Structure 1
Amino acid sequence: MTVAASEATQEIDKLLALHPKGFDLSLERVTRLLDRLGNPQDRLPPVIHVAGTNGKGSVSAFSRAILEAAGLSVHVHTSPHLVTWHERYRLGIKGGRGAYATDAVLADAVRRVAAANRGEIITVFEILTAVTFVLFSEHPADVAIIEVGLGGRFDATNVIKTPAVTTIMPISLDHQAYLGDRVELIAAEKAGIMKRGCPVVIGQQEEEAARDVLVTTAERLRCPVSVYGQDFMAHEEFGRLIYQDDDGLIDLPLPRLPGRHQYANAAAAIRTIRAAGFDPSDEAIEKGLTTVEWPGRLQRLTSGRLAERAPKRAEIWVDGGHNPGAGKVIAETMANLEERDPRPLFLIIGMINTKDPAGYFQAFSGLAEQVFTVPIRDSDVGIDPAALAEDAAAQGFEVEPVSSVTEALAILSVLFENQPIAPRILIGGSLYLVGNVLADNGTPPR
């Protein structure tokens, strides 16, 4: 299925032409719309509601993989998508892996929700969130994992009255224009998805101020709360992942997703599932950790149209992390790879104008040889490569603005044509850029 042929994409394009782009954080419009639709959000299977600046996608992916390994059917709502809108709506299948909503099913749901809105002022994200609730209420499943879009308190997903568990992943500065310019303010917004008396899991927090806000809010709402490093934790020991909580220790394989930060994300998923009332076997947890997939996040490209344009034997990674917190964990993973397999690291970066390029680039200081800056296709908020190059140069990098990822790979291919060692290449800075790359490479999410 191509985007051009997608009926659902055509329906969503109509909405994009009618309604304002971006976010206008409020629950009033989506609540009105859901009421007209019969409040489908009240007819969902047990909900795992996930927020956080970084890591919420990983914990959702781990949770889904473990629950499916236990034989359960799992709906999953994530945003944004990388290549097609369908990625936002994964419908659970009993006894097997869920699948993206088919084009006909998604197009029908979008049409019905748009009709119920009656052309009134609303954001497209709010309509698409209502589509999530319609689809998840009409297709039976054992559990639904729902990611917050932006913030928490006024995010359109925050109409779920009694989640089985609320999970808050690491919080750092991002979307300051909407959420505030201090981690305490951002934490307060994300804590807004907690519901009185409903279990809360707090993932690893680098900022103590954020952790304190989350714990205080959970305690005020009398939520049973589990805090990483206090009530549950995980660490590597002899090439294995040791998970520990009140129920004891589990000796597990290391997660399939690369990066040491994934140890804490996997631990948060295990605790989340247990707090939600599910009790997967150790075997199901092990299978989930070793089969988990999370496209566009430290994903290695080993084949495809773009990969073939890179220098021979090059190691290519793509990652959509775009804020200083994400830059830090990505850089740490690149540094760990460098210890095991030394190669010169080159960055191919595109970013949108709501991000902090300086904070992102700082994480790679002393690690990357050179930065290529690229535009983001079909985006009116992408930073011009020349301007982004100035941000990288200000952090001490040798940098070259180019017209595309393809051009950057071509330059590197010439540079390394007769070299005995091949480079390590990281393409990232934006989920939108990663979506462009996966589409161009012919390897979209499945």
Structure 2
Amino acid sequence: MMALHPKIIDLTLDRVWRLLAALDHPERRLAPVIHVAGTNGKGSTVAMIRAGLMGAGQRVQAYTSPHLARFHERIRMSDGLIAEDALAAVLEECERANGGQPITYFEITTCAALLAFSRDPADFCLLEVGLGGRLDATNVIDAPRLTVIAPVSLDHQHYLGETLPEIAAEKAGILKRGVPCVVGPQDEAGMEVIEAKAARLGAPLIAHGQHWHVWEERGRLVFQDEHGLLDLPLPRLIGAHQVQNAGMAIAALRALGMEEAACEAAVTRAEWPARLQRLRLGPLVDAAGRAELWLDGGHNPAAGVALAEAVTRLPPRPLHLICGMLNTKDVAGFMRPLAGVAETLTAVSIPGEAATLPAETTAAAATAAGLPATTADSVAEAVARVAREVPNARILICGSLYLAGKVLAENG
């Protein structure tokens, strides 16, 4: 399938529409769709909406990306991850229907997911945008039940535009005529774009700060909207940013008519690996000894801010970073907020990734941001070195979901 990939990524829906037509339009035979876009938090929000719906006894499908350790993570059927034989069957069916024509990896696998979902009885289908929104391969649903736009910030500027309003316009491309949209916290410039697009389409907005509010109070999560106030446990997913993500999930569940039990399940049962995840078992944990080992896949400036804030809320320990990043990311923007909370950074290259930033370049960016940095040949070497030099360290592996996937696979 990678051999079919165009030489460059040109965002268009033409190839997707062609293949879906050849497959007899599986996108028209889905359970009610909840379509989620945004720069940061959309994956966690999908995980919480899914947990909430399942807590209410609903059968839920979910399509997310990228995967971490196994491709199957992208396609969650109503009874769990897609089975190996079922995945092979839909991929082969899509390959035959495509007839060898150019199509991107994400486009053809999205079509495969929609084909699998169309044959699986479910109550809801969650679709997470891969890149942008307007021209993303998931944006083929004429009338979703609900859309969600998580916080929009600068990322993928070479595809989506250089300014926040331009990027927000791409994300707002998932809005559909008359379909309600839950909107997470936004910068004013981005919100203006979303509101203008919604007004043109007659799409009712359920916006943070206007129609719903969420905050942490005395170790609890408090959510308030026109239906009343909820007093819930803090999210199982760690970090102040997860309170905001939980707010979006709860607002979505309320818009779908779910009761308080579903909202509580959203915050207490959601699982989403590599989002400030504490690793507790495996060879890397053994190599860390008495040091704590954490993993996070955030990779843009907004993620750096959220990560820095989250680690300061943990019990005090000296923080040491192990970081690998792609050469398409704003490395300095990611590093700057972390430089104020971490003591050192050990840079690594991401194994098997053609677009990895060389460890030396990552280390130089960290040093320029005011964070003392060295390099290591592997994550395992970096973990062992930090644990040897600072036995009581909190070691945080970060910088890329691709690196996080390699770590989870290596750690079993």
| C-alpha contact 2:4 2:103 (8 A) present in aligned 1 | no
Give the secondary structure class of the aligned counterpart of 1:306.
Answer: helix
Q: Which amino acid aligns with 1:371?
A: L
Query: Structure 1 unaligned runs (5+)?
Result: 1-14, 94-98
1:315 deviation in Å? 1.7
Aligned to 1:323: 300
Given candidates 403, 408, 412, the residue that maps to 1:438 is 408
| C-alpha contact 1:311 1:412 (8 A) present in aligned 2 | no
State, as a whole percentage, how many aligned pairs show the same letter. Answer: 50
Aligned to 2:31: 45
1:17 deviation in Å? 3.1
Aligned to 2:22: 36
- Partners in 1 of 2:12 and 2:5 — Cα distance? 15
| C-alpha contact 1:171 1:183 (8 A) present in aligned 2 | yes
| C-alpha contact 1:152 1:190 (8 A) present in aligned 2 | yes
| C-alpha contact 2:250 2:266 (8 A) present in aligned 1 | no
Q: Which amino acid aligns with 2:324?
A: G
Given candidates 121, 143, 148, the residue that maps to 2:129 is 148
1:215 deviation in Å? 1.4
Given candidates 110, 113, 129, the residue that maps to 1:132 is 113
Give the secondary structure class of the aligned counterpart of 1:437.
Answer: helix
**Given the alignment of the two structures, is residue 268 of structure 1 paired with residue 253 of structure 2, yes or no?**
no
Aligned to 1:396: 370
**Given the alignment of the two structures, is residue 64 of structure 1 paired with residue 50 of structure 2, yes or no?**
yes
Give the secondary structure class of the aligned counterpart of 1:351.
Answer: coil
Give the secondary structure class of the aligned counterpart of 2:338.
Answer: coil
**Given the alignment of the two structures, is residue 84 of structure 1 paired with residue 106 of structure 2, yes or no?**
no
1:22 deviation in Å? 6.5
Aligned to 2:234: 254
- Partners in 1 of 2:380 and 2:280 — Cα distance? 16
- Partners in 1 of 2:10 and 2:121 — Cα distance? 31
Aligned to 1:365: 339
Aligned to 1:210: 190
Aligned to 1:166: 147
TM-score when normalising by structure 1 = 0.91
- Partners in 2 of 1:405 and 1:334 — Cα distance? 20
Aligned to 2:102: 121
| C-alpha contact 2:4 2:101 (8 A) present in aligned 1 | no
| C-alpha contact 2:168 2:190 (8 A) present in aligned 1 | yes
Given candidates 202, 214, 217, the residue that maps to 1:222 is 202
Aligned to 1:335: 312
**Given the alignment of the two structures, is residue 302 of structure 1 paired with residue 272 of structure 2, yes or no?**
no
- Per-residue CA deviations over 1:33-70 (Å, capped at 9, x if unaligned) read 10010000011010000000000001100000000000
- Partners in 2 of 1:351 and 1:53 — Cα distance? 17
Aligned to 1:238: 218
1:309 deviation in Å? 0.5
Q: Which amino acid aligns with 2:137?
A: A
RMSD: 1.1
| C-alpha contact 2:253 2:262 (8 A) present in aligned 1 | no
1:21 deviation in Å? 6.9
Q: Which amino acid aligns with 1:225?
A: L
Equivalent residues, number: 412
- Per-residue CA deviations over 1:366-407 (Å, capped at 9, x if unaligned) read 211000000111110000001111111111111001101111
